[in-house]
Structure 1
Amino acid sequence: VRDIRLFSFYPPEGTDSYDDYVQEATERLQILTEKAAQTGFQLLLENEKHIVGDTPERCHKIVSTINHPNLRLIWDPANYVQVGVAHQVERYWDLLNPFTTYIHIKDAFLNDGAVCAAGEGDGQVVNLLSRLKANGYEGILSLEPHLVEFGRNSGFSGPDGMIYAAKALESLLAQL
């Protein structure tokens, strides 16, 4: 194991401005990144809703401030959609691509945040895959459908949901 997935931190409950906690999250992640580098690990920061690193801007602020090769980003299209980010690939690919080394394959709808199979929602997954292909991406595509049940700390799709999600991804890849 070389890569460790992690998240930025939860701000205090009732917080209106996650921006107020970017510096603190960055300082904490800086310490973890330095420890990871000393021991040969790479940290993969996932954008996740309801935490400090939930939007492209805050994710970029964190990784660009730390600016260390042992801290990279996971791009999760559904999670960006669920915090209201529209046209994420068009708007943020150039900003985040230099830091992105891992992709979650799931999608969601902007109107209600419901998770759906890749390509069915507003996460611009086919656009993302197209850009990855154009850049010669050789990293991981992690199929993470969460189609049946999804909560703050869990997600479950079951065999049928996973098969459905895999076929959706296969269809998108065939379009490239």
Structure 2
Amino acid sequence: MRWTASSEPEPVLAGIGDEAAPALPDQLAAVRELGWNRLELRTLDGTPMADLSETAFARAVEEIRASGVEVVAVAAKIGDWSRPATGDFTVDLAELDVLARRCAVLGVRTVRIMSYPSGGLTEPAWGRTVRARVGELARRAEDAGLVLAHENCAGWAGERADRALDLIAHVDSPALRILFDVGNGVAHGYDAAVMLRPLVEYVTHVHVKDAVRTADGDTAYVPPGEGGAGVEECLRVLADHGYRGVLSIEPHLHLRPHLRAAGGDPGRGDRAAFVEYGRVLEELVRRVRHTRTDAEAVR
């Protein structure tokens, strides 16, 4: 997908549903209000997708099919901030087994993972553990027809492009690719566009959020283009490479899921804010397309 001419397809826009509301009907209504028909699933009524009962999952499938909305990805807990590299790996394997079955029912291939906080391991041991674990996960994902999308967030390969490339090279599987979140650099202390450039050929899914650092060193989330994440520049990098995947909004304006792991209040989604966020992203995408079209016309 090139973004250089109006005759070419526009980026595929979606959103992480629980950023709009806890309940699935409200999540579906939010993307439909935007005129979109794609949803990324993370939790339903606060429960991760792999932890839903069979009855609750079956009901969710019925609602999704009736809505006509397509599920484009599932955000798993595998390797995230709550699961250090010293933890029980069988928990992640069990989650992947459940998600493999459920993704087949939903008709979705992309599963978000991370690469494990250290849990106190030395850097060499941490890296070895992550390579081994993600390699095994990718082997199983490949057998199941899934793609594990590793996010630039928590974990050994989350904050450094060289480690992300090392992980991809070591695992050497089409079932491991990159989920690039353009807003994570603010919280984790790196320039997102700089990190994205060497990774862009492996990017299979994108999260869009933006943020600023506050005076007390915390991270405050803001509409896309209003913070320090370089959202528009990242969109240009993706466009230049011909990225053909999804741009999925993750506003974090009212919901910050990682706070739950530390015993804090993560908040809850807000439908109105979610919809407004989507409108702002649509405008940013139009701006990138028009700028690139004008540049092509000058050449």
TM over 0.5: yes
2:268 aligned with 1:147: no
Shift of 1:39: 2.1
Larger mean Cα displacement after TM superposition, 53-62 or 127-136: 53-62
Aligned to 2:240: 134
Percent identity of paired positions between Structure 1 and Structure 2:
27
Aligned to 1:54: 158
- The answer to whether the 8 Å contact 2:177/2:203 transfers is yes
Shift of 1:168: 1.6
* Counterpart code for 1:54: G
Whose relative contact order is higher, 1 or 2, with alpha carbons under 8 Å and at least 6 apart?
Answer: 2
* Counterpart code for 2:146: F
* Counterpart code for 1:75: F
CA distance in 2, matches of 1:16, 1:125: 34
5+ residue gaps, structure 2, are 1-107, 261-265, 289-299
Aligned residue among 150, 158, 174 for 2:270:
158
TM-score, normalised with respect to structure 1: 0.85
CA distance in 1, matches of 2:184, 2:253: 14
CA distance in 1, matches of 2:271, 2:251: 11
2:145 aligned with 1:40: yes
How many residue pairs match? The answer is 171
Distance 1:116-1:156 versus aligned 2 partners, 3 A rule? farther
Aligned residue among 176, 184, 197 for 1:79:
184
Q: Deviations over 1:96-125 (max 9, x none)?
A: 112111100111114532222211111111
Distance 1:93-1:149 versus aligned 2 partners, 3 A rule? closer
Shift of 1:36: 1.1
Does the residue aligned with 2:135 lie in a helix, a strand or coil? helix
Distance 1:146-1:19 versus aligned 2 partners, 3 A rule? farther
2:210 aligned with 1:107: yes
Shift of 1:17: 6.5
5+ residue gaps, structure 1, are none
CA distance in 2, matches of 1:84, 1:163: 28
CA distance in 2, matches of 1:158, 1:105: 16
* Counterpart code for 2:282: E
Shift of 1:65: 2.4
Mark the structure with the bigger radius of gyration. 2
CA distance in 1, matches of 2:187, 2:165: 18
CA distance in 1, matches of 2:125, 2:224: 33
Does the residue aligned with 2:149 lie in a helix, a strand or coil? strand
Distance 1:39-1:149 versus aligned 2 partners, 3 A rule? closer
